[in-house]
Amino acid sequence: GENVEQHPSTLSVQEGDSAVIKCTYSDSASNYFPWYKQELGKGPQLIIDIRSNVGEKKDQRIAVTLNKTAKHFSLHITETQPEDSAVYFCAAIFITGYALNFGKGTSLLVTP
């Protein structure tokens, strides 16, 4: 099955700096790569996703890049704010209706 590796496990940045979280996947057939944000006491929530036919996608301060050849994808958060502090999970999936395989998560702390 699909194996998703995520790093770093913890990341601390100062407010206004950029944060980058990286993930690798094992199954070259995977075609959908979402990123979820989990705040304390809540369930994960989708913040951005990318499909295998696209190399980059942006949504305001967040962006995701995908390198299919290397089988890795990254989350970029610019101009970080304290409210960005949370645990972020990457995931990969092969086909609609199958279950997401999640990375172990990155705990991001943005200090004022």
Partner 1 sequence: DAGVIQSPRHEVTEMGQEVTLRCKLISGHNSLFWYRQTMMRGLELLIYFNNNVPIDDSGMPEDRFSAKMPNASFSTLKIQPSEPRDSAVYFCASSYTDEAFFGQGTRLTVV
Closest CA to 78 of 64, 67, 92: 64
37 touching partner 1, by CB under 8 A? no
- The 86-105 site mask, x for binding partner 1 (CB under 8 A), equals ---x---x--xxxxxxxxxx
Measured at the alpha carbon of residue 57, what is the angle toward residues 56 and 58, in degrees to the nearest 5?
130
What amino acid occupies position 8?
Answer: P
Q: How far is the CB of 102 from partner 1 (least distance, A)?
A: 4
Q: Among 43, 70, 83, 112, which residue sits at the site for partner 1 (rule: CB under 8 A)?
A: 43
Provide the 10 A C-beta neighbour count for residue 2. Answer: 17
By CB under 8 A, the count of residues binding partner 1 is: 22
Find the part of the chain contacting partner 1 (CB under 8 A) among 22-30, 31-39, 56-64, 76-84. 31-39
Contact call for residue 40 and partner 1 (CB under 8 A): no
6/98 Cα distance (integer angstroms): 20
Cβ atoms 50, 38 nearer than 8 A: no
Binding site for partner 1 (CB under 8 A): 32, 34, 36, 41-46, 49, 89, 93, 96-105
